[in-house]
Structure formats: structure tokens, C-alpha cells
């Protein structure tokens, strides 16, 4: 008790306490170090998580912007096609309407498309179908709300045609990829680059519609006839809209008579 009173009055133990405090600092730091490391790590992970979240949000915004830009480009192109089709319809002597393609099948065995109109819109079997570039085919199968259109390149399709340059008439058969004009007399004048148009025979396709261009002419081994390959003007793999050809009033009058 006397020592405590003396220390209080004269601070006899102050040097000892100071020495002990200095000696304890490393121990205190050693005890506090794991907690400080934990706090620093926690802050780092928190910042990393915030950066990852921000990066994800920015990527989503960028993707959304790109998708909207692509949609705008697609809509602009579609509107341009529709304007061209509307102008063609207004300027054409044919009675036509526009239908939209919902499916395309271009296998070796079958070449066809499906359009979004059927008997409810008055379509008929055999009705001619065109694009801005040329003949596509004709209505082959009908239901109430849609129709199958057999393409001119289908192996089951034959189209009465003529060579625009000289009026030579023949039949263009689909070969699963393009069209073949077969068994043409060797004396006939047919050349690569000739334009093939509809002849009007059969009354399903009006005369003079563009069909294809001759890309190859060959003569049979026995030299009794020649044949030709023609590539359609219409891009059948990228059809999105088509024209349906309707009978003119004159044709309807003739049929009734």
C-alpha cells in the first residue's frame, strides 16, 4: 500500500510502465493484424463485386442497344422492300396483292414456301406467285389461313416459257436447284445470257414475266437435241414477301362467258 501511495505521489513506476507499454505494442499489432487484413479484404471484395455488377449492367445495356439497332436496320430494310412492292403493284398492269412468307423448304426433293394466306383470302390452286425479280412458282396446297407454293425449281414443276430474244417456246422444268430447258431442237437459236420469260400458255402465268437467265447450253451425245440450264432471277432462299397474281376482270368475264 505504501508503494502505491508513493508511486501515486512521486510516479516511481512510470519508467517501468513506459517500458512495458513499448514492449506490448508489437503484441497488440500482432493481435489486430488479422482483423485489419479481414477488413481490407472485405472492402476489396465489395469493390470487386460492385465493379462486376456494373460491368454486367453495361454489357446488358450495350447488347440491348445493339439489338435495337439491328431491329431498326431490319425494319428499315423491310419498309424499303414493302415500298418497292407497293410501287410495283401500283405500276403493274396485273392485279396483285402481297403475302408474307412464313417458311422456306429448299431440299433436293422439295422446293416450296409457305405463305400466310389461304382460302379465307380467296386463293386458288395454281395461282401464280411472283417476286420483284421474277416468277417464283404457283399455289399448290391450300388451307384456310395459309398456302404451300411449289417453286419453279421443284422437280415436279413445269413452266411454259419462251426465249425473249427470238420467241422460242419450250418448257422449263425444275431440277431441284435451278431450271432445265430440255429437248430443244439443235437448229434452235439459244445462247448463254438469253432471258427466259413466261409464254402465257396454260393461262396460269401472264405472258412476258421474267423467269430466269440461260447460264449453260449443251448438245446431247447423239446430237439430236440440245438442253439448257437457267438460273431464276428470284432469290428463292431469301424470300420474305411475294406477289399473288389475281385474274383480271377481262379474264373473269371470258371465263363466265
pLDDT tens digit sequence for 57-83: 776 666 656 555 655 554 566 566 666
Q: With bands split at pLDDT 50, 70 and 90, how would you rate the model's confidence at 181?
A: very high
- Return the ∠ at Cα 153 (arms to 101 and 160), rounded to 5°: 110
Q: With bands split at pLDDT 50, 70 and 90, how would you rate the model's confidence at 152?
A: very high
Q: Which CATH architecture has domain 92-246?
A: Beta Barrel (2.40)
Are 128 and 138 in contact by the 8 Å Cβ rule? The answer is: yes
The pLDDT of 20-35, averaged and rounded, is 56
Supply the pLDDT for residue 255.
43
Q: With bands split at pLDDT 50, 70 and 90, how would you rate the model's confidence at 250?
A: very low
Task: Check whether 174 has a pLDDT greater than 70.
Answer: yes
Highest mean pLDDT: which of 22-31, 92-101, 128-137? 128-137
Distance separating alpha carbons of residues 15 and 37, to the nearest angstrom: 34
Are 190 and 218 in contact by the 8 Å Cβ rule? The answer is: no
The pLDDT of 35-39, averaged and rounded, is 63
- Average per-residue pLDDT in the chain? 79
The pLDDT of 179-193, averaged and rounded, is 93
pTM: 0.64
Distance separating alpha carbons of residues 155 and 77, to the nearest angstrom: 32
Contacting residues for 78 by C-beta, under 8 A, at least 6 apart: 240
What is the residue extent of each domain of the chain? 1-91, 92-246
pLDDT tens digit sequence for 99-149: 999 999 988 788 999 999 999 999 999 999 999 899 999 999 999 999 999
Supply the pLDDT for residue 69.
60
pLDDT tens digit sequence for 196-244: 999 989 888 988 899 999 999 999 888 899 999 999 999 999 898 898 9
Distance separating alpha carbons of residues 125 and 115, to the nearest angstrom: 13
Contacting residues for 126 by C-beta, under 8 A, at least 6 apart: 138, 139, 204
Amino acid at each position: 500500500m505504501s508503494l502505491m501511495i508513493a508511486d501515486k505521489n512521486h510516479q516511481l513506476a512510470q519508467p517501468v510502465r513506459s517500458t512495458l507499454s513499448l514492449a506490448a505494442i508489437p503484441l497488440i499489432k500482432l493481435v489486430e493484424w488479422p482483423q485489419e487484413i479481414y477488413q481490407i479484404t472485405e472492402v476489396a471484395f465489395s469493390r470487386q463485386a460492385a465493379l462486376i455488377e456494373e460491368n454486367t449492367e453495361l454489357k446488358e445495356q450495350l447488347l440491348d442497344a445493339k439489338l435495337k439497332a439491328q431491329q431498326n436496320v431490319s425494319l428499315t430494310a423491310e419498309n424499303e422492300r414493302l415500298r418497292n412492292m407497293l410501287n410495283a403493284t401500283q405500276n403493274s398492269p396485273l392485279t396483285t396483292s402481297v403475302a408474307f412468307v412464313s417458311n422456306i423448304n429448299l431440299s433436293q426433293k422439295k422446293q416450296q414456301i409457305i405463305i400466310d394466306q389461304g382460302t379465307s383470302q380467296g386463293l386458288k390452286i395454281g395461282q401464280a406467285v411472283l417476286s420483284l425479280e421474277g416468277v417464283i412458282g404457283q399455289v399448290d396446297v391450300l388451307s384456310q389461313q395459309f398456302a404451300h407454293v411449289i417453286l419453279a425449281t421443284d422437280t415436279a414443276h413445269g413452266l411454259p416459257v419462251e426465249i425473249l430474244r427470238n420467241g422460242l417456246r419450250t418448257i422449263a422444268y425444275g431440277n431441284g436447284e435451278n431450271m432445265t430447258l430440255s429437248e430443244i431442237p439443235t437448229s434452235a437459236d439459244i445462247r448463254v445470257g438469253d432471258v427466259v420469260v413466261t409464254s402465257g400458255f396454260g393461262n396460269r402465268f401472264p405472258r412476258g414475266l421474267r423467269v430466269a437467265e440461260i447460264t449453260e447450253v449443251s448438245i446431247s451425245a447423239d446430237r439430236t437435241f440440245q438442253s439448257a440450264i437457267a438460273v431464276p432471277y428470284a432469290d428463292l432462299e431469301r424470300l420474305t414477301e411475294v406477289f399473288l397474281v389475281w385474274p383480271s376482270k377481262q379474264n373473269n368475264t371470258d371465263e363466265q362467258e
